Structure 1
Amino acid sequence: MTSAHPGLAGGPVYLDCNATTPVDPRVVEEMRPHLADWFGNPSSDHVYAAKPKEALHRARTQVAGLIGAETGEIVFTGSGTEADNLALRGAVLAAKTDRPHLITQVTEHPAVLETCRALERLHGVEVTYLPVDRDGLVDPAAVAAALTPRTVLVSVMAANNETGALQPIPALAHVTHAHGALFHCDAAQAAGKTLLDVRELGVDLLTVVGHKMYAPKGIAALYVRHGVALEPLVYGGGQEHGLRAGTENVALAVALGAAAELAAAELADGGCEGIAELRDRLHGRLAEGLPGRVQLNGPVKPRLPSTLNISIDGVRGHELLTDVPEIAASTGSACHSGTDTPSPVLRAMGLGDARSLSALRLSIGRWTTPNDVDRAAEALIAAARAGVV
């Protein structure tokens, strides 16, 4: 996209795309008829149901195309959190195992971590929380060592929402399957930003989230490999292959499908390479303007093209951003924004409180320009030089 996004015109530089992305105007146009004209219930059998039913199938196919799945393996949900709940809770409750065992890792999104804690509390599930290394990565050998005959599922995200670190998913899935367990991957941050193929990854379940890839909030999908048994999350009329009952929100499903198709085309054209160049330009400007004070948190590679997590010595990230209102960014996960406490993700990576408190998460996207990057760098450098603490 070269034209400016209407929601960004005249406002602060938006560097918070990991929290949510602006809705692509092309996605809005695809939704519009389903909000205004094509109102029928896709489960009905008359003429008013035809276009909604066709649109729902097309959207499912578009999402499947982005991740190398089959159309029938896509289940629409109301959020990524719901999709993660369906994957974890669904796998546990469908398992024929006494005291099921789950494995995840300490830097997962709260959508996974809190579901695990609820399963421990409510269903007596045993959960192993694996550590990560200095780059925030899980060792496949640690997964292999943690697996037991009672292990039902391993859940590890594709990309960290704070640092952009890309996990070695194929290796993790391989050791998981060698022990007969299922593998779930929360790809909320990775989908649309890096190439994903569920067959090559070797995953059984994978979460895709609309508002992380230029669709509206309130729509997501769970890939469920054919043959994987899950207990439904919502009971009722049998929609979404019986896993998520309730009349489908066709307009939002259409939006996710359109966003997935646009993302697939962008990835095929190498569009994310330009985003990575802007990310590195921003990093370079900040390092040059604040010599010796800028430290990268997480790996240089493998990392999402959109994500730059840095610590600036001598400042607190939260207060620095407050002092620079011309930039819209975060210190870490949007779920914990507004707090001035050390990031659990950075602490799990072995970083001290001072470095964690000085962290900024700067995430760019489809409409970020070189001018945006340069403006943001200048503002942050000036504030950091002024000694904001």
Structure 2
Amino acid sequence: MIYLDYQSTTPLAPEARDAMLRWLDGPEGTGFGNPHSSHRMGRQAKAAIELARDRVAALLPAGGRVIFTGNACEAINLAIRGSGSGGSVSVSAIEHAAVLDTAKALNAAHILNVSKEGQCNTAQDVPADTRLIAVMQINNEIGTVQPTIDWHRKAKEVNALFLIDAVQAYGKMEVTHADMIAVSAHKLHGPKGIGALWVRDGVELDPQITGGLQESERSGTLSPALVAGFGAAAHLAKELREQDAEHVEALWTRARELFSDWTLNGAEDARWHGNLNIRRNGLDVNRLMSECRGVMFSAGSACASGSGRPSHVLKAIGLSDKQAKNSIRLGFGRYTQMEDLEKAAQEINAAAEAQGL
């Protein structure tokens, strides 16, 4: 099988797996202790968590704290729900459902429009009562990079907090100028089931899960194995960032050649080049995926797959329902081999041509 769905999840780095194994030991080992216990095994597990916290924080701005969560969705909920009540929450039209649905659930959502290139610019007003603005750094469906520094400035002008969903950007590019930043381990070769919220010093949050407050604003016993895996993946991403970026750029350049007959969705340059979202008019994507079963790619956002609805992101940039349903997303990164990309392209193009396209 050829894996080209890096926006959905990434392969676990061997280094992250090794870091996790130490803390999965059963009764004969000493790695299964509760990190919130005061005895020796608990203190050892706690030390592993704090090392990982430092490693995760090393890819984030100084002057803040890292709160471990079960995933990025929980981190986003903690940020939006825990940072206050009342007032509007202004969010871009291409945010992940974790942001959009949470703002809508609070009856506070103000939707910010985006250009056909897939960027949310600041030349638009926000409600006078806006208490929080949320704009993601790299869009998970089309890969466009958002002007988050400009949006942070806009948020400060209206005395609002600024949240960045950095799930797709974390470990790939600098993430700065925010009050809160949500990240996830499994999008940078760490394990599933662990995320984090970075919170700027001085920003206080109301806990959304009560019970023990082991993470000050978040209750629940932490998994040393998951946290250690997250920390190892973050540490590796920092060390390999330049190398990874060069590899992705080479893959992108070749992919654009291999899929030159397809139409690119979103900006060509203002995007993360590990995300290739393309379309062909008249394409039956379900048939394409059925005929290319050995290639793992997406018909859109993995979080919305199976809903039958056209992508809200592709609709927001001006595509029709039909064009949105004619689109596929290919994601690649550190462990993608050039020959695998080329083989996948050959299969996908052949299957598309078999449809008479």
The TM-score bracket by the shorter chain reads over 0.9
Pairwise CA distance, 1:276:
2.1
* Residue 247 of structure 2 corresponds to residue 279 of structure 1: no
1:237 has 2:212 as partner: yes
Structure 1: runs of 5 or more not aligned: 1-11, 94-98, 121-125
Matches within 5 A, 1:351-362: 351-362=319-330
- C-alpha distance in 1 between matches for 2:340 and 2:20: 29
SS of structure 1 residue aligned to 2:83: helix
- Residue 223 (structure 2) aligns with: 249
List runs of 5+ in structure 2 lacking aligned partners.
none
AA of the residue aligned to 2:100? L
Which stretch of structure 1 is more off in the superposition, 273-282 or 29-38?
273-282
Task: Look up the match of 1:105.
Answer: 92
Structure 2 counterpart of 1:162, one-letter code: E
Pairwise CA distance, 1:340: 4.3
Q: CA deviation at 1:339?
A: 4.5
- Report what 1:369 is aligned to: 337
Aligned residue in 2 for 1:48: 41
- Note the C-alpha offset of 1:314: 3.0
Could you say which residue in structure 2 is the equivalent of 1:146?
126
In the alignment, which residue of structure 2 is the partner of 1:191?
170
Distance 2:66 2:291 in 1: 44
In the alignment, does 2:19 pair up with 1:26? no
Query: Counterpart amino acid of 1:133?
Result: S
1:126-205 mapped onto 2 (5 Å cutoff): 126-142=108-124, 145-148=125-128, 150-196=129-175, 201-205=176-180
1:88-112 residue CA offsets vs partner (Å, 9 max, x unmatched): 001124xxxxx32211011110111
**Which residue pairs with 1:64 in the alignment?**
57
2:23 is paired with a residue whose SS is: helix
Answer whether contact 1:340 1:357 (CA < 8 A) is retained. Answer: no
Structure 2 counterpart of 1:3? none
Q: Matched residues in 2 for 1:41 and 1:29: separation? A: 20
Post-superposition CA distance 1:86-143 (Å, at most 9, x none): 00001124xxxxx3221101111011111111111xxxxx32111111011111121x
Task: Report the TM-score when normalising by structure 1.
Answer: 0.88
1:129 alignment partner AA: I
- Count of matched residue positions in the alignment of Structure 1 and Structure 2: 353
Asked if 1:13 corresponds to 2:2, the answer is yes
Partner of 2:312: 344
Aligned-residue offset at 1:43: 2.2
1:73 and 2:65 correspond = yes
Distance, in Å, in 2 between the alignment partners of 1:133 and 1:193 is: 24
Partners of 1:361 and 1:20 in 2: CA distance: 13
Q: How much has 1:357 moved relative to structure 2?
A: 1.2
Does the C-alpha gap of structure 1 residues 342 and 237 become closer, same or farther in structure 2, counting only changes over 3 Å?
closer
Q: What is the CA distance between 1:365 and its match in structure 2?
A: 1.7
2-structure distance, mates of 1:316, 1:325: 15
AA aligned opposite 1:248: L
Task: Indicate which of 64, 76, 79 corresponds to 1:84.
Answer: 76
Report the alpha carbon displacement of residue 305 of structure 1 after superposing the two structures with TM. 2.5
Deviations 1:306-359 (A, max 9, x none): 100000233122321222112110011101223444211111100122321110
**C-alpha distance in 1 between matches for 2:280 and 2:336:** 22
State the identity %.
38
1:131, 1:138 within 8 Å by CA — same for their partners in 2?
yes
Q: CA deviation at 1:273?
A: 2.0
- How far the C-alpha of 1:147 sits from its partner, in A, is 4.0
Greater alpha carbon shift after TM alignment, 334-343 vs 230-239: 334-343
Task: Judge conservation of contact 2:208–2:218 (CA < 8 Å) in 1.
Answer: yes
Q: Does 1:116 align with 2:95?
A: no
Are residues 206 and 86 of structure 1, via their aligned partners in 2, closer, same or farther at CA, if it must alter by over 3 Å?
same
| 2-structure distance, mates of 1:388, 1:54 | 60
2:198 corresponds to which residue? 223
In structure 2, distance between residues paired with 1:388 and 1:223: 49
Tell me how far 1:47 sits from its aligned partner.
1.3
* Deviation readout 1:35-79 (Å, 9 max, x if unpaired): 113122222222112211111111110000012335x60000001
Q: 1:317 aligns with which of 285, 299, 308?
A: 285
* More helix per residue: 1
For normalisation by structure 2, the TM-score amounts to 0.95
Any idea what the Cα deviations from partners look like across 1:249-296, whole Å, max 9, x if unmatched?
1111111111111111111x3321211220221121121xxx4xx100
